[in-house]
Amino acid sequence: MVYKDRFLNFSKKSSKNVFYRGKSLFLCVMNTEWMDDEFLYKKIQDALRGIPENFNILEEQIDVALQAEYFEFSRKFRSKKTLGNYIRKKEQLFDPETSIKIKKKILAALASSAEVEDFRTIERYHKAPDPELKEWSILALQESRMLIQSALLDEQQIFISTGLGGKGQKLRYFVVFLNKSGGELSDMQRKLLHDELVYALKKANGELEELNSMIDFTTAMVVLPITSPLKDLFQGVIDECNQYGDFLQEDMVITNVKKLNPIEILDLLKQQKEAGQLPEEEDPEY
């Protein structure tokens, strides 16, 4: 995969998701979509399949807007001739009198350097950062680490970041299963969904981190290898559950952007119903 000096869109709206920094490629996979969106689903899966084995995943959960702000700021700032001046100001990171704006520039400048000393400076700051720059320092530290690895190994390094982060070489996803009839799932239905999820995830070398049942829907947080066939996996879970009660809709929501709260989920469901993309709820049988 070579996308040098340009960006790959993962959505129908303009976004900047892939860029180079020396020999390091940074790939941001950030979407919230209905899994019947074949366009977007195929874009993501095709891109992830082309990634070589030497990739790194940002494990921390960092807001996607902040990630976009950091990488865009970093890209623009590094074209300036003052870069070296900010690297020489590294000790000002530890001065409480230094403004947050200046510290952002120093971190971005240090992260552009392949010098171990500059990496250690970011690492030292990250251990006790200004609260406003905790996540900024995480991104700078990861970027600096990648550049040093590229320089030492003389090979391209891949960095993948999402809003929900990951674990090892797996990505984290938030999934919403929709109940066919109103109300929460019964104890038996919850157990069935839990067991089917655990079984399917284990087969795919993934894991279930949490499962929560609410009125109208059930949410799950899972981690899976980056090339996992998400749509087929979760559709299989729904099909298995529906053999024993037919209690889940075929549609689902999956995101690696953030953990949606109940209000956000209900708003999303409302939008889809108004757009005619969701079936009407069935009346529960008594």
If asked whether residues 152 and 206 sit together in one domain, one would say no
**Does 250 reside within a domain?**
yes
The answer on pLDDT for 15 being more than 90 is: no
Cβ atoms 245, 192 nearer than 8 A: yes
If asked whether residues 65 and 101 sit together in one domain, one would say yes
The alpha carbon torsion through 87, 15, 63, 2 (nearest 10 deg) reads -60
Q: Does the predicted TM-score (pTM) go above 0.85?
A: no
Determine the Cα–Cα distance for residues 239 and 228; give it in Å rounded to an integer: 18
Determine the Cα–Cα distance for residues 138 and 71; give it in Å rounded to an integer: 12
In this prediction, residue 36 has a pLDDT band, given cuts at 50, 70 and 90, of very low
**Does 150 reside within a domain?**
yes
If asked whether residues 135 and 186 sit together in one domain, one would say no
If asked whether residues 23 and 147 sit together in one domain, one would say yes
Q: pLDDT averaged over the chain?
A: 80
Q: How many domains, the chain? A: 2
pLDDT at residue 258, as a whole number = 87
* Structural domain span for residue 230: 168-274
Report residue 24 as tokens. 């390091």
Residues ≥6 apart with Cβ < 8 Å to 135? 60, 62, 63, 66
Task: Give residue-wise pLDDT tens across range 254-276.
Answer: 888 889 999 988 888 888 777 76
**Does 128 reside within a domain?**
yes
**End-of-domain residue from the set 161, 185, 215:** 161
**End-of-domain residue from the set 94, 126, 161:** 161
Lowest-pLDDT range, 17-21, 156-160, 235-239, 245-249?
17-21
If asked whether residues 208 and 108 sit together in one domain, one would say no
Q: At what angle do helices 38-49 and 230-242 cross, to 10 degrees?
A: 120
Question: What length is written for the chain?
Answer: 286
If asked whether residues 157 and 172 sit together in one domain, one would say no
Strands 55-57 and 24-28: unpaired
Task: Give residue-wise pLDDT tens across range 37-70.
Answer: 455 556 556 666 666 666 778 888 898 889 889 9
